[in-house]
Chains A and B, each alone.
Chain A
Amino acid sequence: MKQRRLGTDPVKSIQGIVVPDKLPMTGKRRRRAEVLQELGLADELEVNTPASPQAANASQDAPAPVEQKAEQTTNPAPASPTAADTSPAQANEQPAGPAEESDEFVELPITAIVPGRYQPRKIFNQDRLEALADEILAANGLNNPVNVMDLGDGRYELLTGERRWRAHQLLGWETIKARVRDVSPAQAWVIALSDNTAAEPLTDFEEAAALEKSLQSGEFTSINDLSRKMGRNRGDISRLMSFFKLPEDILTHLREDPSLLNKTAAATLVSYSEDYPALVSEAFGLLRDGRLTSSSLATWLKNRARARSRRQGTRSRTVTLVGAKAGLTQAKISGQRIVLECSKSADPDSVLEALAEALGISIVDAPGAGASEGEQ
């Protein structure tokens, strides 16, 4: 086929077929309805011949959805100015709240309010509470109302503002300015936590405990999910979660005093807790007594651990116990642990007893532990 340069003669035929010299105008498009009107067909269709009872219902209902649609489109417009009216403090109070309804403020009786299960804060410093009460008094009320959820029985559960509520109690006021929010439990967790991290800082452990609780509530499917909805970095949350890998006795102390450990120190302790449980509890004891600071913790642990493993030689090895009378066959040494293995014919309990006797120690059941296979 002959090559044709663009912009020269228009194509007149393809494979011997004459093509139209003109193309339909693609821009000239009228509405179907207009054409039908012009043709006098607009009222041609007998639309009112419902085929079944269903259709009859539909014909009555038909206009309704249209009206609803109109309402939906007009609604958002007045809604947004209302949201803008509320104080700026509120705007940063709910960074995560999607589709906020613009509820109004109400004065609720102090006694109708119960502390919330979503409250992450555990420490209420009396001095600071009094300072807050002074502020509230000076401002003649709250410019940042507390958020509550209607429990439906005349009581309201606090979502945010437990300190403000307590300050009101200190002042002896009878009512408190509140916003009644209708939110899902998941939103409640988000609101409670985001409110608090913005105010007086929570300790890392308080925050971790709140995150753990919200995870267990089943409202969040995973740490990923939680991280997205809370707007918190996933690594941060994981680091906070490492608190719960700490030995139980340390956690007990933390529940009493959440300020004992920050998250970095906790993560450091966790990284040593497997191989050097004794060192970890020693370190925690020093921290608690103020004889070791969080910042020097990592170095302290590193040096101690190195010293110990040097003393013990190789970190992990397995030895065969030759000629052991009590039925032991193998011992595995791994860091600070020794795992003993009995021969098949021996009864581990009697082996342990014999061992204890030989070493002059007594056997006490460890709390919460089942039949342990090894002895530390």
Chain B
Amino acid sequence: MAVQRDNNPADQEIRLVHPNDIQIKPVHASKLLGLTGRTIKAIEEDHQLDIERVNQGAVSARIYRPSDLFDIVAVRRERGQLKGLPEPAIVSTYVQKGGTGKTTVSVNLGISLALQGLRVLMIDNDPQGDTSTMLGYDPDLTPEELAELGIDPDRGITAHLGNLIPLGSMFQRMTLEEVIKKPFGENGPHLIPADDSLNEMDIALRAANGADFRYSLFLDKAINGDIPGCDLSQYDVIIIDNAPSSSMLATNSMLAADMIICPIRMDKFSVKALTRLQRRMLEIEEDFNRSAAVVAVPTMFIRNRPRAQANLATVSEAFRGQVSNALLYHSEDYIKSLEEGIPLYFWRSASENSQGALRDFGKEIHQRLIALMDDED
């Protein structure tokens, strides 16, 4: 959620910056799309994409909104220059430890994969609604309250995953259309948001038959387009962001996942959490002959510390092939961009240290997903 500086301090806390209001300069757009400015312009001309211009001194320069970038990506995908995955993948971001950067990793990964041409659905599976917040929605205010404050009521959250999964009568069943949010327009990542009431899903899940597999059941059918009013077949990747707990919600998302991304810091607790996750995956594999690929991603990594380096070396050896090559370095950028309400991936003041690392991470996960979904069967 973003706070826009305002003269009236009373207004400060409740001004939400819309994520699609982010302005991206041409140079930055090139970097994000991995295309030269010339190619981007050619695509704009060919498809009559209108890009806003702002005056910069004597000349006017293009200013891109995130949705413009996703439109360009959609054009390239239509032309066959970008491809989807061999099969749709479910990625779950999970570690049973707080503060390692799960939400940051999920949101920026979603943006990154969408910019690489995949159709992305993000599911906020955390009743705190951090993913929803990072994408510009307010889990704490009702649409009516927002309207009163002069904010687009669409920024409020009235429904969540519980309204989509057929499961008892705890939540009112809704169609995907009623639940889904599109923070960056049609071609950007979509979001199934969450708010506090998602907590009650835990109870509903426990009461259900096959309690651990309700997400698997739902997603498997929805991806096949078998659930009326909730067709998820258009998506290449579904990214589920979890709370750092071992609730039924998290368990369900782990069992449904093809890949689990586990952000870890190089401290004892993180390593412990990763170890726990590994044991859990081993058990699952024994029981069901199926387990997700685990990718541990070192976050808040400090380059120059010999201790951190040594720990990374040990972890990489112990979890061979399961630690990402891309490291997310410790940086103030994460906190600053969050404060401004802009996902770091789009934040213009970000350094290569933070943003470049996220891009590398996104590319690596994309490659891993292609390999993973290709050798399934």
Binding site for B on A (CB under 8 A): 1, 4, 6, 10-11, 14-20, 22-36, 38-39, 41, 44-52, 54-56, 58-59, 62, 65-66, 221-222, 224-225, 228
Contacts and interface: CB of A to CB of B under 8 A. Distances in A.
Contact of B229 (A28, A46, A51, A65): A51
B245 interface: no
* Interface core residue of A6, A19, A36, A48 (most chain B CB under 10 Å): A19
Given A1-B310, A14-B314, A54 B175 contact: yes
Contacts of A66: 225
B376 interface: yes
A59 B216 contact: no
Nearest to A40: B210
B75 interface: no
B293 A58 contact: no
B340 interface: no
Contacts of A51: 163, 172-175, 229
Interface in B197-220: 209-210, 213, 216-220
Given A39-B213, A51-B174, A55-B229, A26 B321 contact: yes
B216 A35 contact: yes
Interface stretch (B147-155, B186-194, B277-285, B343-351): B277-285
B46 interface: yes
B210 A39 contact: yes
25 contacts: A1-B311, A1-B314, A14-B275, A15-B268, A18-B275, A19-B275, A24-B284, A26-B321, A27-B375, A32-B256, A35-B216, A41-B209, A41-B210, A45-B217, A47-B226, A50-B228, A51-B173, A52-B173, A52-B175, A54-B178, A55-B228, A56-B228, A62-B226, A62-B231, A222-B45
Contacts of B320: 23
A22 B166 contact: no
A46 B217 CA distance: 10
A48 B175 contact: no
Contacts of B220: 32-33, 36
Nearest to A60: B228
A30 B289 contact: yes
Contact of B258 (A29, A36, A225): A29
Nearest to A30: B290
Nearest to B319: A23
Contacts of A224: 42, 45
B291 A20 contact: no
Closest 3 CB pairs of A and B: A55-B229, A51-B173, A59-B228
B45 A35 contact: no
A19 B217 CA distance: 32
Contacts of A26: 293, 321-322
Contact of B45 (A22, A31, A62, A225): A225
A36 B216 contact: yes
A221 B376 CA distance: 46
Given A14-B271, A46-B166, A54 B45 contact: no
Contact of A221 (B48, B294, B318): B48
Contacts of A10: 317-318
Q: By DSSP majority rule, is chain A's interface helix, strand, loop, or mixed? A: loop
A20 B278 contact: yes
Contacts of B219: 32
Interface string B300-343: 00000001001101110111111000000000000000000000
A35 B217 CA distance: 10
Nearest to B228: A59
Interface string B148-192: 000000000000000100100000111101100000000000000
B357 interface: no
B288 A19 contact: no
Contact of A52 (B42, B174, B314, B317): B174
A228 B268 contact: no
B221 interface: yes
A228 B41 CA distance: 13
A323 B110 CA distance: 80
Given A23-B319, A49-B173, A52-B174, A17 B216 contact: no
Given A44-B209, A228-B42, A59 B290 contact: no
Contacts of A24: 278, 281-282, 284-285, 291, 293-294
A49 B228 CA distance: 8
B325 to A, nearest CB: 16
Interface string B227-266: 1110100000000000000000000000010100000000
Contacts of B210: 36, 39, 41, 44
Nearest to B280: A24
B53 interface: no
A35 B290 contact: yes
B272 interface: yes
A58 B45 contact: no
Contacts of B318: 10-11, 14, 19
Given A26-B293, A51-B174, A221-B45, A20 B275 contact: yes
* Interface core residue of A28, A44, A59 (most chain B CB under 10 Å): A44
A52 B177 CA distance: 11
